[in-house]
Structure 1
Amino acid sequence: MMRWRHTSRGLPICIIAILGIAPILGAEEVSRTLSCVLSESLASPKTAQAEVEYARAILSARRAQELPDISVTLSPLAKIQGDDDTRDPQKARITSSMSVSLPFSMTPEQNLRAEAASDRVSLERLRLEESRQEELLRLINLYHGAYLAQQEIQVASMERELARIRLDIEQSRFERGEIRFIDFERVSTSYVEAQASFIKAEGMHHDRVRALAAASGIRAEDLLLLQPPPLVHPENTGVIDTLAGDNPGRVDTGAVSWRIASQRAELQAIEREVHHLPSLARFAQARIGFDYQDHSASISLNPVSRILSLGYTPAGITLVDDGPSRGGGSSSGGDSSDFDWNLNLSVSFSVSLPRISSYDREIAELSAESARLRLLELELEALDRERESVNDLRQALDDQKNSEIALARAKLNHEIVEVQAEAGRSIAADVMAAGVALERATLNLQRAQLQTDRILLSLVPSLGTHLHNTLEGRIEG
């Protein structure tokens, strides 16, 4: 946090008391850390929805990998027969056919749906991880903003007090006729501007605390005093050198954006569809039927639907039988009145006209090519955004170096003024001005450091995952 350099004259203690900072420092025991805010934050609606979609995708994938249910069909039949020259039926019989369908394997279409469902699980997991990372980075950025606004209030308060003291000094000089009115008016304007800056800093702090409270679910009253956030970039100089060094390269974070992953999954689905397009001719069904007297049984295999069917029809119950025996066809295709039993085998094929199939294949291939081009476009856009962020990182590092130089100069000036004050060659206002300049330079460096962190975390979001359990107060000053 901000530190005040004490002098032998004890002026900073008085200034702190005047500015009302002492009560704030006295509330240090209720201050919040970044890791505390991150751990207490509630999941955003977007992340909660992503969790639900991920769970639903898992269930859908499990369902898609299951074979269809076994089905049992029972078909009762009542058959009444008679001749034209009789009014009453000559024959009536009740029977029932039974069949069982046993799926033994998944069809190509079911395999496609299962693979698509598996891809959906990966995509929803990636969407969930991406949502959590976005939420984490948003909370970190909001915490940084609220902390900097908190520090800005302290520095702006010091600058306002310094402007007031200068105004009192210059007013006394003006009343004694030592300076012109235009010089006094310039100092008066500086005080008004310092007062306006302080009010603006208070408003900004209020807005940023409210934004952090809304995003985290923590009461705004509990976020009025924040501890310095830990820095990420000092421990990741290797990553920075790789991204923005003299010989820049890419950092393999293992993370892929959801948009790119979604487009890749779409391309893979289209390619699978092209590969599984049906051939012109294919084996459709094989069936074996067996009849014995009035009993009938059958076994059929359908390679297309991957279903094995078993059927049986018993002789049934004859209610009326007053007519002569007539030949009738059996359920398996034989003539049970001529023979005691019969066995038959049938095989069927399906043939598709090449005209429609060729259209389907060409459409699928063009769709795959369109998906490849869209994927390439998304990857190029991601590279462009990464290059822009790397350039921003270089600029932030340059700003940080300049801030470090400015802070070193402010420290030196403060030490010089302190020595001059001890020698009686500087007044208390000069010491205060040097101290305020030192605090402003310290805040500028903190702002530059956090800006470097924000850009680095946007490039490599995984670097922010450890901030949930990190010692605070490592920000440099």
Structure 2
Amino acid sequence: MQSVRQNAFLVLVAVFLAGPVIAAQAVEKSISLDYIMTNREPSTTVNAARLRYDAARISAEAAAVGADPGFSITPTAKLSGDEGETDPNKATVTASFGLTVPLGLTAEQRSRAMSALERVSTLDAALAEAQLKDIQEIVGLYHTAYLAQRELEVGQLELEAIRLQRESDRVRFERGDLRFSDFLRSENDFSNAEADVASASAELREAVLKLSVATGMRVDLLGALAAPPLIYESNGPSQDLSELGGTSVGYSLDSSLLSRYYGLQAAERETEQRPSFFSFAQARASLDYMDHAASVSLNPASRILGLSYTPEGIVLRDDAESSSTGSGGSGSSDSDWSLTLSVSFALSPARVETHDYESRQLAVEQARLELADEEQRIEDIRRAAELEMLKTNETVQSFIAAVERAEINLEMVLAQDRAQRALPVDVRAAEAALERALLGLERIELLRDQKFLERFVPTSDSLRILSAPATWRTE
């Protein structure tokens, strides 16, 4: 797989070095960000995070299941004889049957199962983080490539306007109406514009190549990129960011904060069992009747109920009457049955347990402090993001005003052109100025989108707008 990726990368590099002309005019149908997000290859980081999550989920399911019931059979053979005799005069076979029934998870098993579930939640958050970072990378690369494409388009419009201005200056210079220094300035402007277009074309090729490598899509499919939708616009530019934690967008809850929270929960569970000097260990009841034996035992610590039964043995040989009651009997000739009840208690000084309990209490306090520090860090990031987004919104408004001024200027020039009082170069210059203003607005709004994705996690409803059309263009 690695060699295949290396070969694919070398092919892409060869295509890039060959210098293909990638421009919007060369491809009739443009490709959208939604198409790329749907058809791209998943990143290795996301795949690794998903595998860790799946493994933790399977482990949690196994930890939540208690022990299985157990059944055992113990065959027994018994030979007996009289004193002074070498040959046995009686042979008996029997079997003991045992059944163990788990009554539930022990406290330790419940704690492990809860920790396993918490690990699943933490890795689920880590998977969401990996997916979000993958989205951020693809969106950022797409924005870069699209802006490079727009820069090339605007540069070509500006080059055309400068070319018309140069031709006009050439005519005026040849008539003697323009000084050579002014004409030379037009020539230099045209040369600089040509260099800018060549540089923009190279930057576009580089941006498309990076997008191709990151998504696994061919370079020729990325020849013309559609305007990406605005993610932040779905929440309304005028909406207060402090209210974004509601229905549409929630703040990012990173896995480190979740890990601190579950660490505190685990530490608190460790302090639920206080040290005890006296504890109940086991209860057992047994009944022997004639040649039959049965017993019941319960261990509260392991929460296992044990049942056993030994039936009357099968006599294979009986040459002489024996006083024995059989292999499963009580072995007493004084009575035919007996019932025994026993209870075990554990007594311990609990000094070690007391010291461990105090250590666990200190661990709880430490976990609380770590969680508080992490919450404060997240809150600081949130407030900084709010201020940054507010500043960006103000910048967006200034670019919107620039677009409005460029539109007014273009309308004035077009009106003069209809009255035959404007030159073609004036119309081209006004159109190029409007496109430059629109490009500036696109650039700052896409920058706001990237900042938004860095600090906030869009919900599924918010991410659906990736397939929506862009709204920058004015009619």
Shorter-chain TM band: 0.7 to 0.9
Superposed counterparts of 1:167-206, under 5 Å? 178-179=178-179, 186-206=185-205
* 1:102 to partner: Cα distance: 0.8
The answer to whether the Cα contact below 8 Å between 2:24 and 2:149 also exists between their aligned partners in 1 is no
CA contact (8 A) 2:92 2:327 kept: no
Q: Report the CA distance between 1:273 and its aligned residue.
A: 1.8
Are the counterparts in 2 of residues 330 and 336 from structure 1 also a CA contact under 8 Å? Answer: no
Q: Which secondary structure does the structure 1 equivalent of 2:360 belong to?
A: helix
2:239 maps to 241
Aligned pair 1:355/2:351, yes or no?
yes
Residue 36 of structure 1 aligns with an amino acid whose one-letter code is Y
**Closer, same or farther: CA 82–201 of 1 in aligned 2, 3 Å:** farther
Q: Quickly say closer, same or farther: Cα 1:250–1:438, change in 2 above 3 A.
A: closer
Question: Which one-letter code corresponds to 1:301 in the other structure?
Answer: L
Mapped to 2, the partners of 1:464 and 1:95 lie a distance apart of: 67
Alignment of structure 1 residues 270-289 onto 2, 5 Å: 270-277=267-274, 279-289=276-286
Following TM superposition, by how much is the alpha carbon of 1:104 offset from its aligned partner in structure 2, in angstroms?
1.5
Equivalent residue in structure 1 for 2:245, among 251, 274, 297: 251
Matches within 5 A, 1:197-216: 197-216=196-215
- How has the CA–CA distance of structure 1 residues 147 and 408 changed in structure 2, closer, same or farther, with 3 Å as cutoff? same
Asked if 1:69 is matched to 2:63, the reply is: no
Aligned amino acid, residue 265 of structure 1: Y
1:123 equivalent to 2:117? Answer no
Note the 1:69-148 alignment, pairs <5 A.
Answer: 69-78=68-77, 94-148=93-147
Structure 1, 142-151 or 299-308: larger mean CA deviation? 142-151
Q: Over aligned residue pairs, what C-alpha RMSD do you find?
A: 3.6
SS in structure 1 at match of 2:256: helix
Q: Distance in 1 between matches of 2:308 and 2:285?
A: 10
Partner of 1:12 in structure 2?
A: none
Shift, 1:462, TM fit: 1.9
> Does the 8 Å CA contact 2:313/2:327 hold for their aligned counterparts?
no
Residue aligning to 1:370 = 366
Q: Distance in 1 between matches of 2:42 and 2:283?
A: 57
Output the amino acid matched with 1:219. R
Displacement of 1:222 in angstroms is 1.8
* Contact 1:292/1:336, CA 8 A, preserved across alignment: no
Task: State how far apart, in whole Å, the 2-side matches of 1:83 and 1:193 are.
Answer: 122
SS at match of 1:349: strand
Could you say which residue in structure 1 is the equivalent of 2:12? Answer: none
Given that 1:291 and 1:330 are in contact with CA atoms closer than 8 Å, whether structure 2 keeps it comes out as no
* SS of aligned partner of 1:461: strand
Aligned 8 A contact 1:294 1:336 in 2: no
Q: Contact conserved, 2:442 with 2:472, CA < 8 A, in 1?
A: yes
Cα distance, 1:295 vs structure 2: 3.3
Asked if the contact 1:103/1:306 (under 8 Å) is kept, the reply is yes
State the Cα distance separating 1:308 from its structure 2 match: 0.8
Which residue is 1:387 aligned to? Answer: 383
Over residues 99-153 of structure 1, what are the superposed CA-to-partner deviations in whole Å (9 max), with x where a residue is unaligned? 1111122211122122223323333433344443443343333332222121111
Aligned position for 1:229: 228
Structure 2 gap segments, 5+ residues each: 1-20
Q: Percent of aligned pairs with the same residue?
A: 36
TM-score by length of 2: 0.80
Aligned residues: 448
Contact 1:232 1:463 in 2 (8 A): no
Aligned to 1:37: 36
SS at match of 2:98: strand
TM-superposed CA distance for 1:435, in Å, is 2.3
Distance 1:381 1:196, change over 3 A: farther
Query: What is the CA distance between 1:189 and its match in structure 2?
Result: 4.4
Q: Choose 317-326 or 374-383, whichever is displaced more.
A: 317-326
SS in 1 for 2:225: coil
* Corresponding position of 1:443: 439
Q: What does residue 11 of structure 1 align with?
A: none
Aligned to 2:397: 401
Could you say which residue in structure 1 is the equivalent of 2:13?
none
